[in-house]
A and B are shown apart, each in its own frame.
Chain A
């Protein structure tokens, strides 16, 4: 089958790309690549809730921040290992996602977007003002990094990169599998396209919406905990509306509703932002804004929707039609 060959090529290409920062092993390059992967996981988590299920979140950086703080607090106060910290972060954000999901069940479209925006702001305010728990505006630090890293600095960076790579790619594949290979995917899409019709078809929209909220928040929290252990500093600014906007920009860039599109989009856009740093720090955000505007109007399906070979696309569409799909 042709598809197998293509898939093999994609996997090989991805593996090569993942190995590249290790092969070059320049500290700066590794640093960028690691952070890009953390963002990629966050963009993918946003895509599950907003791209697949159509429940637009404008406060995803809030989940990210809760995950980061949960991990940092668990390690600082209880002295747990980073693995337990990551699990704790996941559980906490999953619970928060479930709680945010309940009121969101009643809301659609603009209203939901504004509630999630408000949620993100409240997370930021709590992080700034609950000084006993969160360390206030300066945040938390000195709670340690990933457990069991070697002493050598370069090796530390490499292992950190591998951990972040493994966790984010594995989570992305898990979410991709969920949306493509289980009943949850079509249910999510049905809710996105027409919730009332979905309900009339016997889809339990309440449960699936809550599932999307919980899983999406947990994945966002996981990426937050990766951030916490990698950067080793969490402060209220990571939950800002600007970061939520950046995540949406990344997902739009990559192509919403495809899971892997936002992942790749985030990697590329983050790389672009860092490259533009050499031109000037303000220009990279102007570029992000322009990408959002241009892609929304002209490339609505993002990078994932681009076809390098239109002829093959036609062939595939014809083949699908013949199968009656």
Chain B
């Protein structure tokens, strides 16, 4: 039993790394722009397709797929603010946006998902792992791909946190999160920070998509289901709370992994949503969140 639990915990932590790459981006974008990016999953999918193109179509070294996926989704993410969010913000001025940004990014998600479907077709594409083989942990074998996923995800997240903590731009992002008006008053260019934040968030999602591509297959809707789950994770961690999202990612992934021991696996997808609704009812600010004024 103990070995089984350890085995599922390993699976949970690897999955948690992917969830975290994804959910941290969503919550960062929400914290800075007050926009929930419904199209986040499509950047994840795009990362997966980039990995497929790099490794299978272009025959480049597999390791190149990760920086390429990060770069492609980062650059495309940079276009989201000036191309879509900013025009709508300008039109709205100071009026309440209501659901409009959700509808906007939902539209972007629909366009991206079906464009990928039009180009790549609906087949499940398989991507070979970066390194074959596995590691013997005595109680279980862990494939090298899973080890890579965990290490790269943790490295990327640590890098992000260091960037936010120590870098000038990172500090500017945190300043905008705390108070956009005050940030602007001390000379931080809001549009540049908005653009960079969405780029970063989408880049992390793309990296996640490329990492997990060898484990799951790549298909146009692969990211959207993750978007739904990531919403549950971000709520659990407190909307706009980056550290909360990180912790909640690992909580949800491990609960899901361990739940297989107790309930039928087809219900494990319901756990995240059930927890989300429970948290919203009992503690709407999230596990670590503070009440918003």
Contact = CB atoms under 8 A, between A and B. Distances in A.
Interface of A: 50, 54, 56, 58, 103, 106-107, 109-111, 113-115, 117-119, 121-122, 125, 128-129, 192, 241, 245, 248-249, 252, 280, 282-283, 285-286, 288-293, 296-298, 300
Interface string B98-121: 111011101111111111011000
A102 B7 CA distance: 40
A286 to B, nearest CB: 5
Interface stretch (B9-17, B83-91, B194-202): B83-91
A44 B182 CA distance: 42
A118 B277 contact: yes
B225 to A, nearest CB: 9
Contacts of A111: 235, 239, 280, 284
Given A289-B111, A297-B84, A115 B280 contact: yes
27 contacts: A54-B98, A106-B284, A109-B99, A111-B280, A113-B36, A115-B280, A118-B228, A121-B228, A125-B270, A129-B266, A241-B224, A241-B228, A245-B106, A245-B110, A248-B103, A248-B106, A249-B103, A249-B107, A283-B114, A285-B117, A289-B107, A289-B111, A289-B114, A292-B107, A293-B111, A297-B84, A297-B91
The 8 closest A-B pairs by CB, nearest first: A292-B107, A289-B110, A289-B111, A293-B107, A118-B273, A56-B99, A285-B114, A282-B118
B173 interface: no
A289 B108 contact: yes
A151 B102 CA distance: 47
Contact of B103 (A54, A109, A125, A296): A296
Interface residues of B, number: 42
Contacts of A285: 110, 113-114, 117
B273 A121 contact: yes
A122 B273 contact: yes
B134 interface: no
How would you classify the secondary structure of chain A's contact residues: helix, strand, loop or mixed?
Answer: helix
A286 B276 contact: no
A267 to B, nearest CB: 20
Contacts of B98: 54, 56, 109, 192
Contacts of A293: 84, 104, 107-108, 111
B96 to A, nearest CB: 8
A128 B270 CA distance: 12
B278 to A, nearest CB: 10
A117 B273 CA distance: 9
B232 interface: yes
Nearest to B272: A118
Given A248-B106, A286-B114, A290-B107, A110 B36 contact: yes
A118 B109 contact: no
Contacts of B102: 56, 58, 110, 113
B231 interface: yes
Nearest to B96: A193
Contacts of B108: 289, 293
Contacts of B166: none
A249 B88 contact: no
